[in-house]
Amino acid sequence: MNLLRLATCLSLLTAWPLFSHAAPLLKSGDRIVLLGGTLIEREQVEGYWETPVILSASFPVTWNNLGWSGDTVWSDSRGMFDPPAKGYERMLEQIGQINPTVIIIGYGNSEAFNGPGSLDAFKKQYAKLLQDLKGENRRFVLLTPTPMEASEIPGQSPEQQIARASHYNASASQYADAIAALAAETGATLVDLSPAFSPASGDLPMTDNGITLNAFGYWKTGQLLSTALTGSTPDARVLPAPTMTSVSPRIVSEDASPTERLRAVIRDKNELLFHRWRPQNFTYLFGFRKHEQGNNAVEIPQFDPLVQELEARIQSLKPAP
């Protein structure tokens, strides 16, 4: 298994010679939006990207996760009853309402399945997305797609695992190069997540299934992101690595560390935010049956004060530097 993971990493090291900015990017009062596919959507479950950033920044920032499973630069997952183009418009509108100062974009994992043949179209659309999202004093952070972790692809022989991962990673590395080029062209900050896939001794697997990051995977990539955004990342004694790869329990014990209590509130806030921007029963609240139950849509903005309350708690729970 370790050999396999090593194989994955070696192929990455040669194919992915990317580096990141070291200077802190965040400023006080920044409103951060995360946009992307499964990589972004699942980040909110554990808060292992947000927590180190909150801990490392010496000032308050807010964090809005707008990830959508399987999404692409075309908003393929956001159309719902409409074509993706309409979902793309809705996404721009939502981001416009938040009016972020920083947008972290994690696209490419879904698109890389289409192979290098679709790379040009991807680049073109990614550039359009950056153009459409442009705003005054708005900073962009572009993430590379995460590689497939051969050893964790379930139900396959080691040979099949390597074949599958190499095939995907050969494509994903080209998508990563394209994103790096776009970052260079537009002055965006590139954060290469692939170094996190070089296992240190005692590391857990990064993914549950070869492709989707687990709690440990988020914790480890979170260090890279925190460093890129704030210039530093919390010591492992402050924010220890998760000991299980599954979703950690929601109830925090009385004697939990301040960091764990902070992370618990972050997760609660993420859940409320999800109800706010992607509520269930969209059909009745805002969609084509809103003439029936659309009156209940008044409840949705009622999540705003609840989110704000938790944002305040997040700031109050932050340990003094």
Partner 1 sequence: MLRNFLLACFCLSLCPVSSTFAQRNLKDIPLPDPAEEQATFVLPEGFEVNLFAADPQIAKPIQMNFDARGRLWIASSSVYPQIEPGALSNDRILILNDEDGDGVSDSTKVFATGLLIPTGVEPGDSGAYVAASTELLHFIDHDGDDIADERRIVLSGFGTEDTHHILHTLRWGPEQRLYMSQSIYIHSHIETPWGIKRLNAGGIWQFRPETLELDVFARGWVNTWGTHFNQYGATFATDGAGGEGINYAVPGASYATAYGASRILRGLNPGSPKHCGLEILHSPNLPEDWQESFITNDFRGHRVCRFVVEEDGAGYTSREQQELIKSSHVAFRPIDIKMGPDGAIYIADWYNPIIQHGEVDFRDPRRDHTHGRIWRITYKGGPIVPREDLTKLSTPELLARLSSNNQWTRHLSKRVLTERGVAILPDLKAWARSLDNTAPDYHQLRLEALWMYLALDVPEPELLQSLLESKNPSARAAACRVLGDWLTDIPQHLDWLQARVHDEHPRVRLEAVRTLARCHDANAVSIALEALDHDVDQWLDYALWLTVRELQPQWQPTLPTGQLAAARQPKHLLFLLKSAGSAEAVPLLFDLLTTKGAIDDADIPEVLETLVQFSRPQDLTAMLDYALVSGTPEARQAQVLSVLNATAERRQLRPTGDLTRCAPLLKSASTSVREHALRCIGQWQLAALRSEIDAAVAQSDAPAHVRLGAITALSAFKDDAAVQTLVMLIGSDQDLVTRRGALLALLNLRPQQAASLAITFLNQLQDQPQASQPVIAAFLAKKEGAKLLAAALKDKQIPKDIAIIALRQVSSSGQEQPELAAAVRASGGVSGDAIKLSPEEMQTYTAAVAAQGDPARGEQIYRRESLNCMKCHAIGTAGGQVGPNMLSLGATAQLDYIVESLLDPNAKVKEGYNTLVVATDDGKVFSGIRLRESDRDLVLRDAEGREIAIPLDSIEGQKNGNTLMPAGLTASLTRQEILDLAAFLAALGKLPDYTISPQPIVRAWETMQPTSEASTHLRRTSYASAATEPNVFQWAPRIATVKGELPLGELPEIGVKNRVAAGSRGVSFVRCQIEAPADGKVQLKFGDIAGLQAWADDQPINLAATVDLTLSPGPHRITIVVDRSERNSPVSLGL
Tell me the Ramachandran region of residue 281: left when phi exceeds 0, alpha when psi lies from -120 to 50, beta otherwise: left
**With respect to partner 1, which residue has the nearer C-beta, 63 or 284?**
284
Tell me if 66 sits within 8 A of 34, measured CB to CB.
yes
Q: Which of 16, 48, 68, 74 forms a contact with partner 1 (CB under 8 A)?
A: 68
Q: Does 119 bind partner 1 (CB under 8 A)?
A: no
**With respect to partner 1, which residue has the nearer C-beta, 140 or 175?**
175
Q: Which of 43, 71, 192, 311 forms a contact with partner 1 (CB under 8 A)?
A: 71
Q: Which of 14, 93, 155, 254 forms a contact with partner 1 (CB under 8 A)?
A: 155
Q: Which of 137, 243, 246, 316 forms a contact with partner 1 (CB under 8 A)?
A: 246
Alpha carbon distance 166, 27 (integer Å) = 39
One-letter amino acid of 245: T
What's 300's DSSP letter?
G
**With respect to partner 1, which residue has the nearer C-beta, 79 or 158?**
79
Q: Which of 20, 94, 118, 156 forms a contact with partner 1 (CB under 8 A)?
A: 156
**With respect to partner 1, which residue has the nearer C-beta, 24 or 279?**
279
**With respect to partner 1, which residue has the nearer C-beta, 62 or 248?**
248
The answer for residues whose C-beta is within 8 angstroms of residue 251's C-beta and 6 or more apart is none
115 three-class SS: coil
283 three-class SS: helix
Of 7, 24, 37, 15, nearest to 192 by C-alpha is 15
290-297: long-range contacts (C-beta < 8 A, 24 or more apart)?
A: none
Q: How far is the CB of 224 from partner 1 (least distance, A)?
A: 21
* Site for partner 1, residues 248 to 287, rule: CB under 8 A: 249-250, 271, 275, 278-284, 287
Of 106, 55, 50, 59, nearest to 222 by C-alpha is 50
Q: Which of 164, 261, 313, 318 forms a contact with partner 1 (CB under 8 A)?
A: 164
Alpha carbon distance 151, 205 (integer Å) = 8
Q: Which of 2, 58, 69, 308 forms a contact with partner 1 (CB under 8 A)?
A: 69
| CA atoms lying within 13 Å on the CB side of residue 223 | 16
Q: Does 247 bind partner 1 (CB under 8 A)?
A: yes
Site string for partner 1, 285-304 (x = CB under 8 A): --xxx-xxx-xx--xx-xx-
Of 229, 145, 127, 137, nearest to 185 by C-alpha is 127
Residue ranges in contact with partner 1 by CB under 8 A: 37-38, 41-42, 45, 68-71, 76-77, 79-81, 109-110, 113, 148, 153-156, 164, 208-212, 244, 246-247, 249-250, 271, 275, 278-284, 287-289, 291-293, 295-296, 299-300, 302-303, 306
